Amino acid sequence: MFSRMQAFAVPAAVLISSRAGLRTVCHSGFRGLTNMSATTPSPSTLPERVQSVVGNQPVFAQTMLRCHDPKQSISFYESLGLQYLGTLAFPEFNFSLYFLAVPDESVPAPPPSTAARSEFAKYLWSLPCITLELTHNWPGSDPPEVYVSGNEEPRGYGHIALSGVSPPKNSTVIGNGKSYNVLDPDGYSVLLRDSSTNSVVYSQVLLRVGNPRKSVTFFERLGMRRLARIEDEDNGSSSFYMGYYDEELPTENIESWLASLRIPVVHLQHSWRRPQKLVNGNEKPYRGFGHLGVICDDIYKVSKEMEELGYQIVRHPSPFLDVGEIAFVKDDDVGYWVELISRSKTAAEV
């Protein structure tokens, strides 16, 4: 089985493999990198990268998690170094969206809290960085829904990762050394890593996958590039790192390079020794993680071409109230959702 996985090489990237080079840093299948060897696959073994349909300069824009108490969740993520940007409230549908991001020079100040909903949405859809979107469904007459973290059977979503952050006081911590997992108020895992820099980096979103060929191809269609592949033979898993990265890929010190990246990547983890039942987070009773988001120029064209390629369009592109144009597309492996968001003008012009 492992030899079959090896045949799926990463074009213009590096295959990292070590029989004893990965150590467990926490429970639930999360792994840290240490003492790893790196080699470059032979170009003759590399499959062709599929063509992107998203156009120029797409932005990996969001990770959406459902939450029960937004005040508690915002306070928790602020303790990890994220900045609260603002809220989109939808009383028409009894839910609100809360957005946080890592403070950075590329993130302009948000509009005042008194700004119109449409103005804040234009600001969000112009940002060049990833945000954490917390969705709060307003309480009704029914008992509150129990959200799942994705790290207990059946699994799916794994975590977001932040570099340059230490565990906050009084938090539930799993692991020790240079990497930790902390649990947010709803039980979602956040992987924290030491960093050589003094600034926080929103570095990763982990999704477990059943068919890496399908999953890698799906994210390639959305313009992401295969950055690296990591094999964990001891635990029978393969990891594929995808991201929007245009520079030349390194051929050595890959683990250090991955840790130093200042862009968010999608970490696709495939457990080939022990296949798992996987869920996408959007079907009861296993709701929790909702979707990733990508900002692009023409969501109508992207949706049309993705549908022609056989992907399911969960929501066809159209305006959503006064907050812009959106669509949702589902991958053909686990069924994870990706929101397609029409790009606004630059934040300076909003």
Q: Give the span between the Cα atoms of 33 and 81, in whole angstroms.
A: 23
Longest dimension (CA), the chain: 61
All residues at 6 or more sequence positions from 324 whose CB lies less than 8 Å from its CB, including other chains: 121, 122, 125, 341, 342, 344
Q: Clarify whether 233 is annotated catalytic.
A: no
CA separation for the pair 172, 1 (Å, rounded): 36
In angstroms, the CA 251 to CA 155 distance is 33
Give the angle 314-74-94 at the CA atoms, nearest 5°.
Answer: 45
Determine contact, residues 263/57, Cβ cutoff 8 Å. no
Q: Which two tokens stand for residue 290?
A: 């909702």
Strand-pairing partners, residue 66, are: 135
Q: How far apart are the first and last CA of the chain?
A: 52
- C-alpha span between 12 and 2 (Å, rounded): 21
Cβ atoms of residues 135 and 97 within 8 Å: yes
CA angle 153, 157, 162 (to 5 degrees): 130
* Nearest in space to 208 (alpha carbons), one of 30, 346, 88: 30
Q: Tell me whether strands 179-183 and 189-193 are parallel, antiparallel or unpaired.
A: antiparallel
CB 173 within 8 A of CB 165: no
Beta bridge partners of 325: 319
Which of 133, 231, 255, 339 is flagged as catalytic? 339
Q: Write out the catalytic residue numbers.
A: 339
